[in-house]
């Protein structure tokens, strides 16, 4: 796998040389915020869960001037930033942004994976050795221990003997824990209306977090109902409000506005995650963390790793062409504008460094595609698994030859194959042949031999970077564009295609020049660039390159 990482680095290096040799054509660069010190007081990483790159422009006519547009007008935009691996899920995305690495090296092979040593399914941040802090649930039995490499947040702490403060915040545990790294002072995530953490970080919640929880802000937000920010006729760039292929919020029967969240009862705290108010709630908690932990007030740079999860929950249910998604981003734009104003006042313009990106994108709902004569569809992994097990048993006698299908990979029952002394290559060849017969599947390959396959170069690179020998399956398969694993309502992500892998990347603030580039940059380049700006070591499995145009 080191060859793969080197190949990625070499390719990225070549693209840097090409870009810098043609800078006038590729890059618009002007003087940006000067900064008042040798280093920023605070770095704020903002990851918008499930934000497609085109959302920067699709909703731009209705955005204000202080959020996305301010970051673009005063900061630097990498317009062609790509994810260099598959599967494009939340956990590997957050890990990649902060490690500058790929699943082959940092170990976060998906949100979940099948552990070949234990024979059990593993959630990315599961840790049975720790306990929940802040509630009586098991939602806090989490830590970053499943991630093998350091993060840029770890390296910042290491650079000054742990004087820097690092805090991670997100509704999702994985969106908070993985970016904050192994040495974080704290990571907080959401559980049933409260912010919680684990004993990995502390024995009890700080008093300020307890005060925030006591406010019951989620419950108060849910009393507001969710109606459109603007008159609904303004949302003419989205589909009609009432479409049969959208998925309603649990606890609600309709998929139309207004969403009567005030009527939610027992499930209101879960339903809260599916409203744009959850993003506001997350930003408010981030402000409280900065205020109470005095982030940016010391003699060294501090780091706040902030992830907005509600956009992913909303996007899965309603799809990228929905009024709900459009409204969520209009409200998010206001949240970002408000947060930047807060940072200006708290730390001073030019004294903080911010980047904004996404962990992945999302595909259109297949039923929406069909409505407009566009190709696409859904596939059931359980149905594929059943078909494979039937044919394996029929031709080899092995029962349950496939243990699971996850991350678009087939995990074979290796113990049983060995126990029955069957030829593994024959079983694998049988599975590949069977998969290729399915009309929605384009190709199926052995994961330990991806580099020797005839896949197109972009696919091959992404699959190779995503393959982890300890946490990936024996066979990987790919769908036709527009197809994915899912049901007949809502949508998802996870594949190599641009709708899942093309993400925004904005740098803003301390010594960031104003401009943009359209050359290829990668998610892996973010950590390397921040490391260079902070003059600290890159994370220990980093394969990305510094984005030279962003450097002062």
At a CB cut-off of 8 Å and minimum separation 6, what does 548 contact? 16, 19, 20
CB 178 within 8 A of CB 166: no
SS3 state at 158: helix
What element of type H or E holds 483? strand 483-485
Burial class from Cβ neighbours inside 10 Å (0-12, 13-18, 19+) for residue 215 reads: exposed
d(CA 187, CA 140) in angstroms, rounded, equals 11
Among residues 386, 376, 407, 247, which one has the least CA distance to residue 324?
A: 247
CA 499 to CA 362: how far, in whole Å? 6
Q: What is the DSSP string of 361-396?
A: --PPPHHHHHHTT---EEE-HHHHHHHHHHHHHHHH
**411 CB-contact burial (10 Å; exposed 0-12 / middle 13-18 / buried 19+):** buried
Residues 412, 427 contacting (CB under 8 angstroms)? yes
Q: Say how far apart CA 87 and CA 110 lie, in whole Å.
A: 7
Check: CB of residue 104 under 8 Å from CB of residue 448.
no
pLDDT at 232 (0 to 100): 97
Residues 6+ apart with CB under 8 A from 254: 248
Structure-token pair, residue 520: 């290829």
- The Cα 173–Cα 126 span in angstroms is 10
Q: Using alpha carbons, select from 465, 459, 523, 500 the residue that is nearest to residue 78.
A: 523
What's the 3-state SS for 281-331? HHHHHHHHHHHHHCCCCCCCCEEEEEEECHHHHHHHHHCCCCHHHHHHHHH
- Residue carrying structure tokens 């403060």: 165
CA–CA gap between residue 108 and residue 472 (Å, rounded):
10
Contact 365, 245 (CB under 8 A): yes
Cis peptide, bond prior to residue 232, ω within 30 of zero: no
DSSP track, 165-196: -EEEE-SSHHHHHHHH-SS-SEEEEEETTEEE
Measure the CA–CA gap between 124 and 142, rounded to whole angstroms: 9
How many angstroms separate the Cα of 406 from the Cα of each of 53, 87, 189, 512?
26, 10, 25, 40
Can you read off the two tokens belonging to residue 485? 């694993």
CATH architecture of 40-58+83-110+125-366+496-504+532-538: 3-Layer(aba) Sandwich (3.40)
Q: What is the pLDDT of residue 450?
A: 87
> d(Cα 24, Cα 268) in Å, to the nearest integer?
53
Q: What is the DSSP letter of 249?
A: P
Write down the pLDDT at residue 7: 41
Q: Where does residue 538 rank: exposed (0-12), middle (13-18), buried (19+ CB within 10 A)?
A: buried
Say if residue 29 is preceded by a cis peptide, omega within 30 of 0.
no
The CB density around residue 31, as the number of other CB atoms within 10 Å, is: 10
| Residues near 419 by beta carbon (within 8 Å), at least 6 away in sequence | none
The C-alpha angle 361, 329, 278, rounded to 5 degrees, equals: 95
Structural contact between residues 325 and 238, judged by C-beta atoms closer than 8 angstroms: yes
pLDDT confidence of residue 33: 52
Domain boundaries, the chain: 40-58+83-110+125-366+496-504+532-538, 377-480
* Phi-psi sector, 193: left (phi>0), alpha (psi -120 to 50), beta: left
Q: In angstroms, rounded to a whole number, what is the distance separating the alpha carbons of residues 336 and 509?
A: 14
The correct CATH number of 377-480 out of 2.60.40.10, 3.30.460.10, 3.30.70.141, 3.30.1360.150 is: 3.30.1360.150
- Cα 22 from Cα 31, distance rounded (Å): 19
How far is it, in rounded angstroms, from Cα 258 to Cα 412?
Answer: 47
Place of tokens 């947040």: 153
Question: How far is it, in rounded angstroms, from Cα 314 to Cα 164?
Answer: 34
Residues labelled catalytic: 90
- Averaged pLDDT, groups of 10, the chain, 552 residues long: 38 36 45 66 98 98 98 98 98 98 98 91 98 97 98 98 98 98 98 98 98 98 97 96 95 94 93 98 98 98 98 98 98 98 98 98 96 96 97 96 96 95 96 97 92 87 95 96 93 97 98 97 98 98 98 90
Specify the pairing of strand 42-48 against strand 302-308: parallel
What is the pLDDT at residue 451? 80
């Amino acid at each position: 796998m080191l060859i793969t990482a080197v190949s990625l680095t070499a390719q990225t290096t070549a693209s840097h040389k090409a870009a810098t040799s043609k800078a006038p054509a590729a890059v618009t660069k002007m003087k940006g915020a000067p900064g008042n010190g040798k280093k920023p007081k605070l770095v704020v990483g903002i990851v918008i869960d499930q934000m497609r790159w085109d959302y920067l422009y699709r909703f731009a006519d209705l955005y204000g001037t202080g959020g996305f547009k301010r970051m673009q007008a005063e900061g630097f935009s990498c317009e062609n930033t790509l994810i260099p691996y598959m599967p494009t899920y939340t956990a590997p995305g957050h890990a990649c942004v902060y490690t500058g690495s790929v699943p082959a090296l940092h170990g976060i092979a998906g949100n979940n994976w099948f552990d070949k040593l234990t024979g059990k399914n593993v959630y990315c941040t599961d840790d049975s050795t720790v306990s929940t802090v802040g509630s009586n649930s098991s939602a806090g039995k989490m830590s970053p221990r499943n991630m093998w490499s350091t993060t840029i947040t770890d390296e910042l702490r290491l650079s000054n003997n742990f004087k820097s403060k690092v805090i991670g915040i997100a509704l999702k545990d994985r969106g908070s824990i993985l970016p904050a790294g192994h040495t974080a002072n704290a990571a907080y995530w959401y559980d049933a209306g409260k912010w919680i953490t684990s004993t990995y970080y502390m024995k009890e919640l700080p008093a300020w977090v307890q005060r925030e929880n006591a406010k019951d802000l989620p419950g108060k937000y849910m009393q507001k109902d969710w109606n459109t920010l603007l008159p609904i006729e303004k949302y003419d760039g989205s589909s009609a409000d009432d479409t049969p292929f959208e998925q309603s919020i649990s606890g609600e029967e309709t998929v139309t506005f207004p969403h009567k969240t005030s009527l939610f009862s027992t499930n209101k705290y879960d339903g809260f995650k599916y409203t744009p108010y959850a993003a506001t709630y997350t930003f408010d908690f981030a402000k409280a963390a900065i205020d109470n932990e005095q982030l940016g007030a010391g003699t060294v740079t501090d780091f706040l790793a902030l992830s907005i999860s509600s956009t992913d929950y909303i996007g899965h249910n309603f799809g990228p062409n929905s009024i709900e998604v459009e409204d969520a981003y209009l409200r998010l734009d206001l949240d970002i504008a408000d947060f930047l104003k807060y940072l200006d006042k708290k730390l001073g313009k030019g004294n903080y460094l911010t980047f904004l990106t996404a962990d992945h994108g999302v595909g259109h709902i297949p039923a929406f595609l069909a409505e407009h004569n566009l190709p696409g569809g859904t596939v059931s992994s359980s149905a594929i698994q059943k078909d494979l097990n039937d044919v394996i048993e029929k031709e080899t006698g092995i029962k349950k030859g496939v243990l699971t299908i996850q991350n678009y990979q087939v995990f074979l029952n290796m113990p049983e194959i060995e126990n029955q002394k069957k030829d593994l290559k024959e079983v694998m060849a049988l599975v590949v042949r069977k998969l290729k017969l399915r009309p929605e599947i384009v190709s199926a390959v052995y994961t330990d031999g991806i580099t020797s396959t005839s896949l197109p170069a972009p696919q091959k690179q992404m699959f190779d970077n995503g393959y982890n020998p300890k946490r990936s399956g024996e066979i990987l398969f790919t769908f036709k564009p527009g197809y994915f694993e899912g049901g007949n309502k809502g949508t998802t992500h996870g594949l190599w295609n641009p709708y899942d892998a093309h993400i925004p990347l904005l740098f803003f603030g301390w010594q960031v020049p104003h401009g943009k580039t359209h050359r290829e940059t990668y998610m892996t380049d973010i950590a390397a660039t921040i490391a260079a700006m902070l003059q600290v070591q890159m994370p220990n499995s980093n394969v990305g390159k510094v984005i030279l145009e962003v450097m002062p």
